Structure 1
Amino acid sequence: MPRIRDIETLSSGQARNIALRVTSGRAGDAGDVLRHLVSVQLDAITVLAPAHQLTLAERLPGSTTGEVDSLLWQADGTVAFEYPAHAAALVAVEDWPLWAFRRRRSRIHPQYPDPALRDDLLSRIGSEGPLPLRSLHDQVGTATGWNWSPAKTAVQLLLWSGELACVRRDRAGNRLFQLPPTAIGDQYLTDALTDQECLRALVERAGHALGVATVDDLADYLRVTVASVKAVLPDTELVPAAVDGWPQPAWASEQALAFVDTVAEGASFLGPFDNTIWYRKRVARVFDFEHRLEAYKPATKRQHGYYVCPLRVGSDIVGRADLAYRDGTLTIITASPDAPAEFLAAGFSAACARLSAMLGATDITVLGQPADTPIPEALERAIGLSNT
């Protein structure tokens, strides 16, 4: 029987402190960070740096984006596998058992490959070793128009079902598919947990990663239904909470409550796919900030730019910048303040210097003139900091 728990009452500022501190908190090595965050999103856009590199480098002090992959895919063991957790994402290899519920569901998908095709694909990969998708097109078929090819559909569903695994990419960035027993340690390769056990563990972990969250927040974080979250919440370690200004009840991680009065340190740009800003409704509620990914919109419909990164200063999100990186140069295409200019300038300067160090940039340039006068001055300070 679920235990009766007192309701924690939090101010909106305390909830913001908790949310920023735990989601952006540093938790050790790459595997530790992955386990804490549950998953880290992947994306094909690399105009600044690969999405997962930005997310992880931000949480691994002293590391650069270019070093992240070597930390994840070490010669002496597998740290992560690719899986549709939140979206296409990296997941700590130890967490393979927790996604058994999604693997089982994938095996009854309407487009799941028929037994003959499935056996052919698995047999070929088993005999030839890890293969990229392009090597399988001749066996299954090629793409038509904008649709997934038959090969991609089949392989993707076999990946979702756990009959294939991806723990490596080739030098061109193509996923390499292999049989799970050759990629995942025997101690993790199991579907023994029930759907309820998987969901209970994952909801609890998502609660620890978010610090304080509504049911909607938790459901979005794991890409599961609200009903499935509600069904397991009473059996988790999370405690009921009420946050001033939040229209819905919340749940909090008891460990995270230690950070109610801890303001996040420094300033940084959050990558557009950073866990902190995954759920647009949560970002608006927690940070009073509107964030939308505009990279996939036509240029004429973008309000702030192509690869826009929110600017965090302390426990607040106070602006954003459209950023790019190439050949050692970090480029600020546009900058948009959402806070008083005198407050923004110092944070903008520090965030530029921090991102420059993460990217290994040797220069910072400005394409468009930012509207607020103090921002060019902040850029000058940032450029000075990055070149010292």
Structure 2
Amino acid sequence: MHAHELTREQARRIIVRAQLLEADRPGDVVEVAEQLGAIKIDPTAVIAPSEQAILWSRIGWGYEPGQLPKAVEDDRQLFEYAGSFHPMSMLPAMRARMRERTLRESTAAWLEANAAFRADLLSRLRDDGPLLAADIPDTAAVPAGNDSGWYSDNQVPRMLDLLERLGEVAVVGRVGRLRRWDVADRARGPEPDLDADEAAAILDDRRLQAAGLARQKSSWSAVGMAGEPAAVEGSMWKWRVDPRALDGVDDDRGGRVALLNPYDGMLFDRPRLVEAFDFTYKLEQFVPKAQRVYGYFAHPILCGDRFIGLLDAALDKPKENLVVAAIHELVPWESEEREAVEAEIRDLADWLGAGLRGLD
């Protein structure tokens, strides 16, 4: 198939639209989840938790924080898996992939050494679930290493996370930030009738839908050979484009300002940010304070199809004020751009129910 030839402006427009960051906003949580495929969950709430910030940056004033747990726990239109919320339409393919997951040798050895612990945990959930991790006894015979520092000495959270990836247990809700677990067959229903190749093709297509345009076989976007080949003006990359995203690619529907949480999916493919947007982004959360340039948790500022700056701001501990430490301009701003950015920051403070300090 002949590759679609795209200008850089068309490429950026496809990506921005695929991420629901153009002027026309989506209507609700489910619409966002269906298009993006995954909404990252992270407790780092410098301004707001990532899952809430991602939804607000798309929906705007039509979004209220209570809509997300309602969609997950009451309406069952979304589900949680491996640190993200996903639409139910992706569950069959994802479960088929879970079933075929291959473990690293060290992980498989740890699981085998703790076969009795695994059986105890599953039995407890079957009899008494849903449960919090704290409600499940740690009967591990062999502790796992903890080089990453992400786990405590309690082996229950580690076993739950592993069994979730294998499709044996599932998160069915939360109590605050704590996950409630149940056995997957009760939480998710019968296993899907999909083989691994069918599931992989479906998931590649969904990832390309969310990306709009991605490098062929990129490990960052993982779209494989989904979609159709494309060439982008000035780029040597081999791209894949979602053919659905080509409709109206030359229509100018208008842009807007978006303040993006550092864990926003728009930012995940760092090489694509550089290639398509000429934007290099480094999260400085884990950089020593003296070496930070833009701030601990600076939010990139997207204006139309250009990244024009970063917002260094935080919600103070009493949650009374959004405090702006700095607004970094990556390019010279027009007065209209400055007004639009400041208006978006004010809207963010209002959405948080907070005052605003440091903007003027």
Give a deviation string over 1:96-121, Cα, whole Å, max 9, x none.
11113541344644424233222110
> What is the rounded CA distance, in whole Å, between the counterparts of 2:42 and 2:320 in structure 1?
22
- Secondary structure of the residue aligned to 1:192 is coil
> What is the rounded CA distance, in whole Å, between the counterparts of 1:251 and 1:178 in structure 2?
38
Residue in structure 1 matched with residue 178 of structure 2 by the alignment: 174
1:239/1:253 contact within 8 Å kept: yes
Q: Which range is displaced more, 342-351 or 243-252?
A: 342-351
What is the aligned-residue identity percentage? Answer: 26
Cα distance change of structure 1 residues 264 and 302 upon mapping to structure 2, 3 Å threshold: farther
Offset of 1:338 from its aligned partner? 0.8
User: Aligned runs of 1:1-388 on 2, under 5 Å?
Assistant: 5-25=1-21, 26-64=25-63, 66-75=65-74, 77-84=75-82, 88-106=83-101, 108-110=103-105, 111-112=107-108, 113-114=111-112, 115-140=115-140, 146=149, 148=151, 149=153, 150-171=155-176, 173-184=177-188, 186=189, 189-217=190-218, 219-222=219-222, 230=224, 233=225, 236=226, 238-261=227-250, 262=252, 264-326=254-316, 327-343=319-335, 344-361=337-354, 363-366=355-358, 379-380=359-360
2:132/2:179 contact within 8 Å kept: yes
Cα distance change of structure 1 residues 208 and 302 upon mapping to structure 2, 3 Å threshold: same
Unaligned runs of 5+ in 1: 223-228, 367-378, 381-388
Cα distance change of structure 1 residues 137 and 304 upon mapping to structure 2, 3 Å threshold: farther
Cα distance change of structure 1 residues 333 and 248 upon mapping to structure 2, 3 Å threshold: same
Cα distance change of structure 1 residues 147 and 339 upon mapping to structure 2, 3 Å threshold: closer
1:266/1:350 contact within 8 Å kept: no
Offset of 1:255 from its aligned partner? 1.8
2:230/2:241 contact within 8 Å kept: yes
Letter in 2 for 1:306: Y
Offset of 1:192 from its aligned partner? 2.6
> What is the rounded CA distance, in whole Å, between the counterparts of 2:238 and 2:116 in structure 1?
49
Give a deviation string over 1:267-321, Cα, whole Å, max 9, x none.
1211111111111111111211111111122222222111110111112110001
1:72/1:78 contact within 8 Å kept: yes
Provide TM-score, normalisation by structure 1: 0.81
> What is the rounded CA distance, in whole Å, between the counterparts of 1:91 and 1:209 in structure 2?
12
- Secondary structure of the residue aligned to 2:272 is helix
Offset of 1:161 from its aligned partner? 0.8
Give a deviation string over 1:218-243, Cα, whole Å, max 9, x none.
x3235xxxxxx54xx2xx4x121110
2:41/2:49 contact within 8 Å kept: yes
1:268/1:350 contact within 8 Å kept: no
Letter in 2 for 1:334: A
Provide TM-score, normalisation by structure 2: 0.87
2:214/2:221 contact within 8 Å kept: no
> What is the rounded CA distance, in whole Å, between the counterparts of 1:359 and 1:263 in structure 2?
28
> What is the rounded CA distance, in whole Å, between the counterparts of 1:354 and 1:17 in structure 2?
24
Unaligned runs of 5+ in 2: none
> What is the rounded CA distance, in whole Å, between the counterparts of 1:161 and 1:144 in structure 2?
20
- Secondary structure of the residue aligned to 2:59 is coil
Give a deviation string over 1:314-353, Cα, whole Å, max 9, x none.
1211000112124232111221101213354223213213
Cα distance change of structure 1 residues 143 and 332 upon mapping to structure 2, 3 Å threshold: farther
Offset of 1:59 from its aligned partner? 2.1
> What is the rounded CA distance, in whole Å, between the counterparts of 1:68 and 1:143 in structure 2?
38
Large movers: runs of 4+ above 4 Å: 141-145
> What is the rounded CA distance, in whole Å, between the counterparts of 1:197 and 1:95 in structure 2?
12
Give a deviation string over 1:112-159, Cα, whole Å, max 9, x none.
423322211010011111222222354338898736342222111101
> What is the rounded CA distance, in whole Å, between the counterparts of 1:108 and 1:290 in structure 2?
34
| Matched residues, number | 343
